[in-house]
Structure formats: structure tokens, C-alpha cells
Amino acid sequence: MGGFRILGRGTSGWWRALGAHGPPKESGYSTKSRNQLQPQGSSKRSGVPRDQPFPGVLQLKNLSREELVDVLREAVVDQKGPLVTLNKPQGLPVTGKSGELTLLSVLPELSQSLGLSEQELHIVQAPGKEASGLVLLSSCPQTASRLQKFFTHSRKTQRPTATYCAITNGIPATAEGKIEVALRLECFDGVNLVVPVKSPSRKDILEGVKRTLSHFRVMATGSGCALVQLQPLTVFPGQLQVHMMLQLCPLLGDHTYSARLGTVLGQRFLLSAQSTKPQSQVLDEALLRCLHLTPSQSSQLPLHLHLHRLLFPGPGPRDTPMELLAPLPPYFSRTLQYLGLCQQ
């Protein structure tokens, strides 16, 4: 299968996957090569204006159902048998309310477009709305079940299967480590937000509090930011955003949880989650200059969180697991270049 590779472990293998000898490979969601997606020339079908400051961001409100199906078909990384892998654009919700344009809502049309009319595609693995990257689909219920069992078993044995690329506003205090914290969802003014819970009781766990765990590793630093490899070992909404927020290094483009970061005389500290409402991320003037953005443009900065690599079981139970790869979106690659993070 063209979209599968076995990579060397460690920093060098990860950088080779991103494109170590120059700018990381971008994805503009084109079918020129399904193994290495290239920037797309036409902006009409993708709903991406040519003059926007964040190339590759999906303008969902400008798309019809048919155009979204075209975008997703062009985002296919690999297709073999019942399995389809695509590189989801940032901003596309996976699920939503009835009548909303989501990945799930157009799966029937996408299935037909890919010649899978007998059995409809179903979602096996996908990043959230604000993240970009790998989506794993299957038209075979047995295959989907096998994959789900693999991912569940991997989490139980603390073997990471998903690797995200992220850019943080700030540099973590340690080069690598793990983040363990209990989280819960709370409703604030009709919006569900993730809140950390200190020393959760047994009652808390029964009421929906979940202990979460992520591994992180700093791959490069520059201009007060960092390129970080993130590997979640649990599944919880907003987990990676909140985990990096607790490291005082919110993800670039995080307009939900970055408001919980306070600064006095250059020193960062956490504000109360219960008393802090979401707001547009505030970047200092030096960083805005590096990114070639105005303050008003920074409020539209997309979340720099990309599901880049997914561990995948081999054909047989004893076969070596393989890895699916999804190239970075154009805006992510450009940010790496502006911050000098792709030359390290």
C-alpha cells in the first residue's frame, strides 16, 4: 500500500517523515500524487481564497456538499480494499448536529465517489475539528472492529499509536516527558470546556472525570516557540491543547484554552479555568512580526496541531506494525519556515 511506511524510530526518522532537508512536505489536498500530496492550484474547489494569510485552511461556509466531497476525495492519501486514508483539512468537524456539514454527513457521497457503493465508509480514527491530519475510514465492519481493538489494546498497554506535530507559543521547560492529569468536561455559558481536576476521588471518576496521559518531545525551538511531537495515550476532547496549556506553552492558534495563561513581568502562570472564558489567542509583537501577521489576523490563526503519523497493524498478528503518514498543511509548513524550525 503506497501510503504505508516503516520509519526509523527517534528524531532522525521523524524529521525524514516531515522533510528534514528543507521545508516540510505540504498538503494542498491534490490528487497529483496520493503518496505525497502537493499544494493545489485552484482555490475555488477547496474553498480557500488565494490571498488569505493561512493557506490550506478550509473555508467550510463557502462550500457545498458536492464541493466538500471533491475536497475530501482529493485529500485521499491511500485507498486499498475497504480502507481509505485521507488528510483532513483543519476546521472540518468530524461529527455535528443534523443538517451541519461534517465529515460524517458526506460519507455516503464520498463512498460513492471512491467506488465503494456497496458498503458505506465508517470512521475508525480521526482528529478533532480544529486539528488537521490522518483520518482512517473503512467500508468493512470486520476490518473496522479489528482496528478498533488494536487501538484499544495499544492504549491499555501504553503503546502510542498516534503522533501529532504541534507548534507551541512558548518552549517547554524540559525537552521531553509525560503529562498526567485528570480532566472533565464542564459547561460554561452553553459551551463544554475541559477543566483539570486535582486529586480526583472515586466519585469524580464515576461522574465522568478521566485520568489522561500524553508523551511530548521538543523537536526544535526558535523565536520563543517550539515544534513538539505529541503522543496521546488516552482519548479525551481537547486533551493535547489542555496538556500543553498546563506546561505554560499553549498551542499556536489555540483560541479556546490559551486565555488561561497569565503573564506578569515576563513570568507565565496559570489562571483559574473556571473563571477564564475562551478568547482569541494574544501573541506578542515580536512573534507577530516573525509570523508576518497583524493582531487582527492573529485572531484567525488556525490551530497548529496535525495528526501526522498513525501506527497501523500489519496484515497478520505477528507482522510488524506499519505507519500511515499525512503531510503538513501549507499554513503549518509556512509557520515552521517563519520561525526557523524546519532547518534544525
Q: Quick one: pLDDT at residue 220?
A: 96
Q: Quick one: pLDDT at residue 61?
A: 87
Q: Place 99 in a pLDDT band, splitting at 50, 70 and 90.
A: confident
Res. 97: pLDDT tops 50: yes
> And the C-alpha cell for 251?
498551542
Res. 16: pLDDT tops 90: no
Q: Place 125 in a pLDDT band, splitting at 50, 70 and 90.
A: very high
Beta strands in 81-145 (DSSP E): 83-88, 122-125, 132-138
Res. 24: pLDDT tops 50: no
Q: Average model confidence (pLDDT) for the chain?
A: 85
Q: Place 344 in a pLDDT band, splitting at 50, 70 and 90.
A: low
Q: Quick one: pLDDT at residue 322?
A: 82
Partners of residue 87 on adjacent β-strands:
134
Q: Quick one: pLDDT at residue 244?
A: 98
Q: Quick one: pLDDT at residue 11?
A: 47
Amino acid letter for position 126: A
Q: Quick one: pLDDT at residue 22?
A: 40
**Contact predicate 241/254, CB 8 Å:** yes
Our separate counts of H helices and E strands in the chain read 9, 14
Round to whole Å and give the CA distance between 327 and 307.
Answer: 9
Q: Quick one: which of 141, 48, 44, 121 has its CA closest to 79?
A: 121
Q: Quick one: pLDDT at residue 37?
A: 30
Res. 26: pLDDT tops 70: no
Alpha helices in 168-238 (DSSP H): 202-206
Q: Quick one: pLDDT at residue 50?
A: 45
Q: Place 17 in a pLDDT band, splitting at 50, 70 and 90.
A: low
Res. 29: pLDDT tops 60: no
Residue 322: phi, psi to the nearest 5? -110, 175
Round to whole Å and give the CA distance between 162 and 251.
Answer: 18
DSSP-based three-state secondary structure for 328 = strand
Q: Quick one: pLDDT at residue 196?
A: 96
Burial class (CB in 10 A: 0-12, 13-18, 19+), 40: buried
Q: Quick one: which of 291, 182, 296 has its CA closest to 243?
A: 182
Q: Quick one: pLDDT at residue 62?
A: 86
Alpha carbon distances (Å) from 196 to 130, 181, 190? 20, 7, 19
Q: Quick one: which of 41, 42, 45, 76 has its CA closest to 62?
A: 45
Res. 139: pLDDT tops 80: yes
Partners of residue 221 on adjacent β-strands:
226
Q: Quick one: pLDDT at residue 51?
A: 55
Q: Quick one: pLDDT at residue 339?
A: 96
> And the C-alpha cell for 221?
525551538
- Per-residue model confidence as pLDDT tens digits over 201-234: 999 998 999 999 999 999 999 999 999 999 999 9
Q: Quick one: pLDDT at residue 190?
A: 84
Res. 310: pLDDT tops 90: yes
Q: Quick one: pLDDT at residue 43?
A: 40
Judged by average pLDDT, the poorest of 160-174, 192-206, 210-224 is 192-206
Q: Quick one: pLDDT at residue 269?
A: 94
Round to whole Å and give the CA distance between 336 and 192.
Answer: 31
